Chain A
């Protein structure tokens, strides 16, 4: 709840400051924000529906076994596969991650999911190849996958200490 107050205060003061310095720019920004929001809303709704129904139908035990604290490396592997093959925008991935965490999924698993989602793109390799060549594209994706797993492992070790 605290983060909502903080975000509101930040947004309000940023908006006020921007408005005082340049009305036109601020208006352009608000229009842009509305465009982003309205084109995100329908896909976000369907994702929320899918998650709501899936979580209601999946026994908690299954979710925790697959991605929870007992899942260990298996959870990270599952997250890495999903993150590498899917093309989900961050605007949707973060809200979904939050829901998964409040249902018992580990932060380290989420770190792997988010990092692979952002860095590894199996589907976009054909595009990437056109810029870097096949060898460099494959190499970058492979090293990014390893990096994501390392970040996940580090977070799982450090998380409980702090």
Chain B
């Protein structure tokens, strides 16, 4: 418990400051202060109903999906099929962008093209399924659908553009982890 508070000391300071601020606002009848409590209550109730369910869905997804099977397909296929597999792999991931760099290094070592590596990264950023659950439940299916519909072709085109710009400039990937060992 103490280590938990220590880890999030800034957040707990913010919460304490907020409690003092709203108590003071109630006493002094400071309208914006009272309004901010009303806002907070409304936001908090909504988040607490949706977020726990989202995390249960994401964790279930994580224990049941086997990414290794898809990873096997990467590298050998070129053209549309190669693009299909990297996008599928990206959609089944979770986590922040810097977690995708080591995976893209693996793809490169397995022989994936420059184009497919950058398509993977773009799809990883914008089309991860666990994040899509989150997006749909907060911003609605219309937003999510349109955003994905427009992003997908742009990500693929970007892959082609980046490949064209890097191809003859002897692009190389390296991994900081293996570089350290040398």
- List chain A positions with a Cβ less than 8 A from chain B: 3-4, 7-8, 10-11, 14-15, 18, 25-26, 28-30, 32-34, 36-38, 40, 42-46, 48-53, 55-57, 87, 89-91, 94-95, 97-99, 101, 107, 110-111, 114-115, 118-119, 121, 124, 127-128, 130-133, 135-136, 139-140, 143-144, 147, 150-151, 154-155, 158-159, 162
The interface of chain B, by Cβ under 8 A from chain A, is 4, 8, 10-12, 14-15, 18, 21, 32-33, 35-37, 39-40, 43-44, 46-47, 49-60, 62-64, 96-98, 101-102, 104-105, 118, 121-122, 125-126, 131, 134-140, 142-143, 146-147, 150-151, 154-155, 158, 161-162, 165-166, 169, 171-176, 179
Q: CA of A95 to CA of B49 in the docked complex: distance in angstroms?
A: 12
With A and B bound together, what is the CA distance between A118 and B35 in angstroms? 32
Assess the A130–B154 pair: CB atoms within 8 A: no
Complex: chain B residue closest to A147, CB-CB: B154
10 closest pairs, A vs B, by CB? A42-B11, A42-B8, A56-B36, A52-B39, A52-B40, A29-B59, A46-B14, A56-B35, A33-B59, A33-B55
Chain A residues within an 8 Å CB radius of B172: 133
The reply to whether A94 and B21 contact each other, CB–CB distance below 8 Å, is no
Q: Which residues of B contact A48 (CB under 8 A)?
A: 40, 43-44, 47
CB within 8 Å for A95 and B47 given contacts A110-B139, A135-B166: yes
CB-based contact B60/A14 at 8 Å: yes
A135 smallest CB distance to B (angstroms): 7
Which DSSP category, helix, strand, loop or mixed, fits chain A's interface? Answer: helix
Complex alpha-carbon distance, A103 and B58, angstroms? 28
Known pairs A55-B36, A119-B97; list 20 more (Cβ under 8 Å): A14-B57, A18-B63, A26-B63, A32-B63, A33-B56, A37-B52, A40-B55, A48-B43, A52-B37, A107-B139, A110-B139, A111-B147, A124-B97, A139-B162, A143-B158, A147-B122, A147-B158, A151-B150, A155-B143, A159-B146
Known: A7-B137, A14-B60, A42-B12. A124 touches B36 (CB 8 A): no
Find A49's partner among B14, B46, B104, B134 (CB 8 Å cutoff): B14
Contacts between the two chains (Cβ within 8 Å), count: 207
Bound CA–CA A72/B37 (angstroms)? 31
Q: A43-B11, A51-B39, A118-B125 are in contact. Are A101 and B139 (CB under 8 A)?
A: yes
Give min CB distance, B170 to chain A, whole Å: 10
Of the candidates B44, B60, B134, B147, the one whose C-beta lies within 8 Å of that of A15 is B60
Contact assessment for A33 and B147 in the assembled complex, using a CB-CB cutoff below 8 Å: no
Q: B165 touching A133 by the CB < 8 A rule?
A: no
Most A Cβ at <10 Å: residue of B97, B118, B155: B97
Say whether B138 contacts A94, CB under 8 Å: yes
**Cβ-neighbour of A118 out of B14, B97, B176, B179 (below 8 A):** B97
